[in-house]
C-alpha cells in the first residue's frame, strides 16, 4: 500500500505513524497502514485550551482577511487534490472518482466561504421608538467541535471548518478512528496555508485547527466541555443520542447530521431510463455508505415490475465493477469493515423473515484483497414497509415497495424515523409540486428527477426527525457558527420605553 508517498506529498512524515494505541487498517485489503497516539483526558483539555486561545485572537481579525486564509487553504487543496483523494481511497475505500469528488466538495466550500467572508450580514430593524435604531450584529462564536464519520472523512469537516474559520471561530476536529491520516493530511495542508498567510504579513494563531484522535470517550469530552459552544456531529443516530444530551446539559448548541433512510417515489409518468441511472448511482455508489444513499424505492404498481426487471438486470452486471477502489474501472469498493458486512447480512436475514425477497447481497472475493469486505449490492422486494426497512443499515441494500395512489406513496415515504433526503421521479407537474409542498416529503432535502445523494455544497445540507435537524454547508448555514446580538441604539435626548410604558 503506497501510503508513504501520499503522506509525504501533503507534508506528513510516515515514520511518525509507527507507534501508538490506535491501529489503522485499510478496508481495501485489511493492511495495517499506521499506528497513532490517541488523546487522553489531559491532552484533550490542553487541545481545547489552545483552540480557545486561538479563538480569542482570531475573532478580531477582519472577516475578509479570515476569508483570505480559507482561500489559501482552497489553493492547497487544489494543488494536492490527487494525493488527498488517494488517502481517502486508502482509508475509506472510496473509488478514485468519488474520492476526488469529495476533495472537490472541500474546494467548493472554501470558495463559498471566502465569498461569504464579505457577506456576514445582519438586519436593520425598524424601531417602534422615535430616535432609535435597531439592528443585529453577528459575532464569532468560539471553539467549534467537529465529529466526523468515516464515509466522508474530509468533506464534512471542511463544510464546518471553512465556515467556522471565516466566521472567526477555531475548530477542534475528532475524525473517525478509521480515517485519522486523511484528517492529519488536511491539518498539514491547512498549516501550509497558514504559512503562506503569514508571508502576507497576517498571522493565523496557533491552535486554530486542532485534531483529537480517539474513541467515543474523546467525543464525550468534547461534548462536555463548556469552552466548546457548538458541537457539529455527523454519524449514526446512536452517536447523536449519546452526544446531544451532553451538549444540551451545559446549554451548548449542537448541529447534528445523523442517519438517513432516503427514498425515491417513481410515478407512472416517470422517465424510467433516467430513474434507473439515478437509482444505480444513489443506491450502489460509495457501496451504499452515504448518509444520502437511496435505501427505499416506492414505485407505482403500474411501473414496478418493469422498473425492477431493469434494475435487476443492471445489478446482475455489477460483478465486474466491484473491486479494488484504486483501479479506474471499479465502481463499488469495499465496505468499511467486517462488522459492516455482518450488519448487512443481518438486515437481509431480517428482511427475509419479514417477507422480503432478496436478490444478490453476497460477499464478493476480490483477488489480492481477500481480507477486504466486498459485497454485491442487494435489492429486496418487500410487500410492505416493515421494521427492517424503517431502520438504516449502512450498506448497499435497496428495499423496493409499491403503491397505488399518491397519498399512500407520501404516507409510506414519511413513515420512517429519519428525514434526510428524498426524491420523486415524475413528469407530472402536480405530483412534483405536491411532493415538494408542506404535505409532501418531510425531509431536509427533496428533489425532482434526480436521486437523493450527491448534493452540491451551495444548499443547506441536513434533515429532520432522527436525522437531527442540523443544516451545514451552503445557504445561510453560516449562522450556526456565529452568535447574534440584537442592538438598540438611542440617538435622541428622550428615553421612550417600548410598548408605550410610562414609568414614574
423 near ligand UN1, judged by CB under 6 A: no
**Is there a contact between 283 and 289 (Cβ–Cβ < 8 Å)?**
no
**Is there a contact between 175 and 233 (Cβ–Cβ < 8 Å)?**
no
Beta carbon of residue 234, minimum distance to ligand UN1 (angstroms, whole number): 5
290 near ligand UN1, judged by CB under 6 A: yes
Q: How far is CA 176 from CA 24, 124, 154, in A?
A: 11, 42, 10
398 near ligand UN1, judged by CB under 6 A: no
Q: CB within 8 A of 296, min separation 6: which ones?
A: 261, 262, 263, 264, 385, 389, 398, 399, 401, 413, 416
DSSP 138-162: EEE--EEEEE--SSSTTHHHHHHHH
> Within its chain, how far is the Cα of 481 from the centroid?
16
Please give the Cα distance from 176 to 197 (Å, whole number). 29
Query: Nearest CA to 166 among 64, 248, 86?
Result: 64
- State which of positions 34-73 bind ligand UN1 (CB under 6 A): none
Q: Which is nearer to ligand UN1, 188 or 453 (CB)?
A: 453
**Is there a contact between 444 and 419 (Cβ–Cβ < 8 Å)?**
yes
Neighbours of 238 (CB within 10 A): 10
Q: Which is nearer to ligand UN1, 373 or 394 (CB)?
A: 394
Total binding residues toward ligand UN1, as defined by CB under 6 A: 11
Q: Which is nearer to ligand UN1, 91 or 105 (CB)?
A: 105
Q: Is 257 part of the annotated catalytic residue set?
A: yes
- Let me know the angle formed at the C-alpha of 77 by 75 and 78, rounded to the nearest 5 degrees: 65
Q: CB within 8 A of 113, min separation 6: which ones?
A: 67, 70, 162, 163, 165, 166, 478
Kindly provide the b/e burial profile for residues 278-291, where b requires at least 16 CB atoms within 10 angstroms of the residue's own CB: bbbbbbbbbbbbbb
292 near ligand UN1, judged by CB under 6 A: yes
Q: Which is nearer to ligand UN1, 252 or 474 (CB)?
A: 474
Q: Which of 76, 105, 257, 431 is catalytic?
A: 257
153 near ligand UN1, judged by CB under 6 A: no
234 near ligand UN1, judged by CB under 6 A: yes
Beta carbon of residue 281, minimum distance to ligand UN1 (angstroms, whole number): 10
Beta carbon of residue 145, minimum distance to ligand UN1 (angstroms, whole number): 17
Residue selected from 152, 157, 374, 481 as contacting ligand UN1 according to rule CB under 6 A: 152
160 near ligand UN1, judged by CB under 6 A: no
φ, ψ for residue 63 (rounded to 5)?
Answer: -55, -45
- State which of positions 102-141 bind ligand UN1 (CB under 6 A): 105
453 near ligand UN1, judged by CB under 6 A: yes
454 near ligand UN1, judged by CB under 6 A: yes
Q: Which is nearer to ligand UN1, 76 or 105 (CB)?
A: 105
Three-state DSSP string of 215-259: CHHHHHHHHHCCCCCEEEEECCHHHHHHHHHHHHHCCCEEEEECC
Q: Which long-range contacts (CB under 8 A, 24 or more apart) does 190-195 make?
A: 190/73, 190/76, 191/11, 192/11, 192/76, 193/69, 193/72, 193/73, 193/75, 193/76, 194/69
Site string for ligand UN1, 71-100 (x = CB under 6 A): ------------------------------
Q: Which is nearer to ligand UN1, 344 or 369 (CB)?
A: 344
Beta carbon of residue 156, minimum distance to ligand UN1 (angstroms, whole number): 6
Query: What is the biggest distance separating any 2 CA atoms in the chain, rounded to whole angstroms?
Result: 88
Binding span for ligand UN1 by CB under 6 A among 26-34, 193-201, 347-355, 452-460: 452-460
188 near ligand UN1, judged by CB under 6 A: no
Q: Which is nearer to ligand UN1, 67 or 288 (CB)?
A: 288
Q: Which is nearer to ligand UN1, 94 or 221 (CB)?
A: 94
393 near ligand UN1, judged by CB under 6 A: no
284 near ligand UN1, judged by CB under 6 A: no
Beta carbon of residue 396, minimum distance to ligand UN1 (angstroms, whole number): 14
333 near ligand UN1, judged by CB under 6 A: no
The residue count for the chain: 504
Residue selected from 164, 291, 412, 477 as contacting ligand UN1 according to rule CB under 6 A: 291
Residue selected from 335, 416, 455, 482 as contacting ligand UN1 according to rule CB under 6 A: 455
Contact residues for ligand UN1, defined by CB under 6 A: 105, 151-152, 156, 234, 290-292, 453-455
- Catalogue the active-site residues: 257
Amino acid at each position: 500500500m503506497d501510503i508513504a508517498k501520499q503522506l509525504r506529498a501533503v507534508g506528513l512524515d510516515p515514520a511518525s505513524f509507527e507507534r501508538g494505541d490506535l491501529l489503522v487498517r485499510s478496508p481495501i485489503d485489511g493492511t495495517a497502514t499506521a499506528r497513532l497516539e490517541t488523546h487522553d483526558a489531559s491532552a484533550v483539555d490542553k487541545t481545547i485550551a489552545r483552540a480557545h486561545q486561538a479563538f480569542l485572537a482570531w475573532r478580531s481579525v477582519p472577516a475578509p482577511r479570515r476569508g483570505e486564509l480559507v482561500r489559501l487553504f482552497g489553493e492547497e487543496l487544489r494543488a494536492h487534490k490527487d494525493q488527498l483523494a488517494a488517502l481517502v481511497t486508502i482509508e475509506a475505500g472510496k473509488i478514485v472518482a468519488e474520492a476526488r469528488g469529495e476533495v472537490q466538495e472541500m474546494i467548493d466550500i472554501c470558495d463559498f466561504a471566502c465569498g461569504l467572508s464579505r457577506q456576514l450580514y445582519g438586519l436593520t430593524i425598524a424601531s417602534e421608538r422615535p430616535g432609535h435604531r435597531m439592528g443585529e450584529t453577528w459575532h464569532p462564536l468560539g471553539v467549534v467541535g467537529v465529529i466526523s464519520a468515516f464515509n466522508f472523512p474530509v468533506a464534512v469537516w471542511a463544510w464546518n471548518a471553512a465556515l467556522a474559520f471565516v466566521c472567526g471561530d477555531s475548530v477542534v476536529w475528532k475524525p473517525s478512528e478509521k480515517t485519522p491520516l486523511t484528517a492529519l493530511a488536511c491539518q498539514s495542508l491547512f498549516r501550509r496555508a497558514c504559512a503562506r498567510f503569514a508571508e502576507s504579513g497576517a498571522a493565523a494563531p496557533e491552535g486554530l485547527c486542532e485534531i483529537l484522535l480517539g474513541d467515543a470517550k474523546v467525543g464525550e469530552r468534547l461534548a462536555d466541555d463548556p469552552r466548546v459552544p457548538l458541537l457539529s456531529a455527523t454519524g449514526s443516530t446512536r452517536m447523536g443520542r449519546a452526544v446531544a444530551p451532553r451538549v444540551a446539559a451545559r446549554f451548548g448548541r449542537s448541529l447534528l447530521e445523523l442517519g438517513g433512510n432516503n427514498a425515491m417515489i417513481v410515478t407512472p409518468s416517470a422517465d424510467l431510463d433516467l430513474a434507473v441511472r439515478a437509482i444505480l448511482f444513489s443506491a450502489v455508489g460509495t457501496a451504499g455508505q452515504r448518509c444520502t444513499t437511496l435505501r427505499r424505492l416506492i414505485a407505482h404498481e403500474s411501473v414496478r415490475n418493469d422498473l425492477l426487471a431493469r434494475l435487476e438486470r443492471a445489478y446482475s452486471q455489477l460483478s465486474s465493477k466491484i473491486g479494488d477502489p484504486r483501479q479506474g474501472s471499479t465502481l463499488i469498493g469495499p465496505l468499511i469493515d467486517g462488522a459492516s458486512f455482518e450488519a448487512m447480512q443481518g438486515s437481509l436475514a431480517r428482511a427475509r423473515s419479514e417477507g422480503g425477497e432478496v436478490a444478490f447481497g453476497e460477499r464478493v472475493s476480490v483477488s489480492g484483497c481477500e481480507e477486504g469486505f466486498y459485497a454485491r449490492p442487494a435489492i429486496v422486494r418487500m410487500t410492505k414497509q416493515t421494521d427492517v426497512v424503517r431502520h438504516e443499515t449502512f450498506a448497499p441494500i435497496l428495499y423496493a415497495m409499491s403503491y397505488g395512489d399518491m397519498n399512500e406513496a407520501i404516507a409510506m415515504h414519511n413513515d420512517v424515523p429519519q428525514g434526510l433526503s428524498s426524491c420523486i421521479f415524475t413528469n407530472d407537474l402536480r405530483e412534483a409540486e405536491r411532493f415538494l409542498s408542506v404535505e409532501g416529503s418531510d425531509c431536509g432535502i427533496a428533489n425532482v428527477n434526480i436521486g437523493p445523494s450527491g448534493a452540491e455544497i451551495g444548499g443547506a445540507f441536513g434533515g429532520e426527525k432522527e436525522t437531527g435537524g442540523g443544516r451545514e454547508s451552503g445557504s445561510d448555514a453560516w449562522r450556526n457558527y456565529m452568535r447574534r446580538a440584537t442592538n438598540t441604539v438611542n440617538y435622541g435626548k428622550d428615553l421612550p420605553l417600548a410598548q408605550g410604558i410610562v414609568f414614574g
